[in-house]
Amino acid sequence: MASSIIHLAVTNELTKRCEFKDEGRLKFGAILPDAGNGNASHLKKTTWGYNKRVYDFERFRSEYGEKIKIDDLYLGYYLHLVQDICYRHFVFDKYKWNPTIPGNVEKLHKDYSIINFYVASHYGLSNDIEAPADFNSEEITKLCPFDIARLMKSMAKYFIPVPDEDIFFFTKEMADEFISEAVELCLKELKALENGEALIGSYDNAWDNMPYSLLETTLNTRDLGEYRIDEGGNSGNKERYTKYGRIIRSDAAITPSEKDIAFLKSSNITTIVEKAS
Between residues 213 and 185, the one the model is more confident about:
185
Confidence class for position 224, pLDDT limits 50, 70, 90: confident
- Are 25 and 172 a contacting pair, CB within 8 Å? no
Looking at 47-51, 157-161, 226-230, which range is the least confident one? 47-51
State whether 37 and 135 are in the same domain.
yes
Report CA-CA distances (Å) from 76 to 11, 22, 81, 122, 156: 8, 10, 9, 21, 20
Is the backbone of residue 132 left (phi > 0), alpha (psi -120 to 50) or beta? Answer: beta
- In this structure, the answer to whether residues 53 and 95 fall within a common structural domain is yes
Question: Where in the sequence is the domain holding 22, given as residue range(s)?
Answer: 4-208
Q: How confident is the model at residue 243 (pLDDT cuts 50, 70, 90)?
A: confident
Q: Which of 173, 192, 208 is the last residue of a domain?
A: 208
What would the mean pLDDT of 27-33 be, rounded to a whole number? 98
Name the residue with higher pLDDT: 277 or 245.
Answer: 245
Same domain, 74 and 161: yes
Q: In terms of domains, do 162 and 274 share one?
A: no
Q: Which residue has the higher pLDDT, 18 or 105?
A: 18
Task: Determine the pLDDT at residue 203.
Answer: 65
Is 209 a residue whose pLDDT tops 70? Answer: no
18 and 42 co-located in one domain: yes
Give the chain's domain count. 2
Q: How confident is the model at residue 46 (pLDDT cuts 50, 70, 90)?
A: confident
Q: Are 224 and 94 within one domain?
A: no
126 CB contacts (<8 Å, ≥6 apart)?
none
User: Mean of the pLDDT values across residues 142-168?
Assistant: 93
User: 156 and 136: one domain?
Assistant: yes
| End-of-domain residue from the set 193, 208, 223 | 208
Distance in angstroms (rounded) separating the CA atoms of residues 127 and 152: 9
Q: What is the mean pLDDT of residues 211-221?
A: 70
Q: 166 and 275: one domain? A: no
pLDDT tops 60 at residue 118 = yes
Q: Are residues 70 and 169 in the same domain?
A: yes
Q: What's this model's pTM, rounded to 2 decimal places?
A: 0.75
Judgement on whether residues 118 and 40 belong to the same structural domain of the protein: yes
Note whether 79 and 153 are same-domain residues: yes
- Mean pLDDT of the region 52-69: 92
- Spatial CA neighbour of 19 closest among 82, 89, 75: 75
Last residue of one domain, picked from the residues 181, 208, 235 = 208
% of the chain with per-residue pLDDT over 90: 57
Same domain membership, residue 131 and residue 57: yes
